[in-house]
Structure 1
């Protein structure tokens, strides 16, 4: 297992998969910002002015982070930022789930309906492990 995690091919595939994941998620939200804004507002935690700001910033940030991973351009900061965002999103989703609301989380816009349920929390936990692996096992590059 250790050999696999240290293998440059595994690291490359992991970086590409996570980069595509972020890019697709960002583009899906950008394609329908109104629906994503509705999902953000559905968490009921932000004032309306912040909902608009978050609705615009998050999808573009996801797209930029995904492209950074795909291009291996400052990939370590991209991993850390994406992992931090995922931790926050997971905490918010857990709050929503344990409050009894299992409506769409807005993770993939209208491309894919994702309910805020235990399956989403488990998937996010797995993604957190993958982002952490990507960060900690990444070989040094010029663009760190």
Structure 2
């Protein structure tokens, strides 16, 4: 038999949409929290992007101002389950950029806060950056996004309703 049966008799194909729903809502919560933490201080978000020293300040300001709205939009799409695969693909790309940026800051010896959930920028004297946990966290989020790329059909979603399935 090709269907994997778990010990309780529940099959993976039967469990997967419910697990996907939890993954989708978990990733949505991350994006909504990250965006909400930054949207009240767009200039601060721009300074956090600029702290990575990978682009001119004017470009960093624009990216920093746009980023919270992109994060909130991804969160909303994932909460309602609309364009789940596209939201997961954009999430994956964004997380890869974040991982690369944090890795770059670490490799270049910068002492910054990632700015992932607000604040960000240069750390105060005596503070140490925590790059490894930030990268590990983002890899974990990337795993969630990858799950949704492979299995985007989840329960309680507009995607499912548009397909006409329950």
- Do these two structures clear the TM 0.5 threshold for a shared fold by scoring above it? yes
DSSP 3-state at the match of 2:88? helix
Contact 1:101–1:116 (CA under 8 A) maintained in structure 2: no
- Out of 55, 67, 75, the position equivalent to 2:76 is 67
Tell me the residue number matched to 1:24: 33
Determine if contact 2:48/2:64 at 8 Å carries over to the other structure.
Answer: no
Alignment partner of 1:109 is 2:123: no
Match of 2:88 among 70, 79, 84: 79
Match of 2:96, SS?
Answer: helix
Aligned residue in 1 for 2:152: 138
Cα shift at 1:6:
4.8
How many Å separate the matches in 1 of 2:150 and 2:45? Answer: 31
Equivalent position to 2:137, from 101, 119, 123: 123
TM-score by structure 1 length?
0.87
Q: Which position in structure 1 is the counterpart of 2:60?
A: 51
Is the partner of 1:7 in helix, strand or coil?
helix
CA distance in 2, matches of 1:4, 1:95: 40
Alpha carbons 1:18, 1:69 under 8 Å: kept: yes
| Runs of at least 5 residues in structure 2 that lack an aligned partner in the other structure | 1-5, 124-128, 154-158
**Which protein shows a greater Rg?**
2
Q: Does 1:36 align with 2:45?
A: yes
RMSD over aligned CA atoms reads 2.4
Say which is worse superposed, 120-129 or 58-67, in terms of deviation.
Answer: 120-129
Runs of 4+ in structure 1 over 6 Å off = none
Indicate how the Cα distance of structure 1 residues 48 and 12 shifts in structure 2: closer, same or farther if over 3 A, else same: same
Moved more, 83-92 or 129-138: 129-138
Q: Is 1:7 the equivalent of 2:4?
A: no
2:109 and 2:97 map into 1 onto residues whose CA distance is 19
TM-score, with structure 2 as normaliser: 0.76
2-structure distance, mates of 1:6, 1:54 = 39
Structure 1 or 2: more helix by fraction: 1
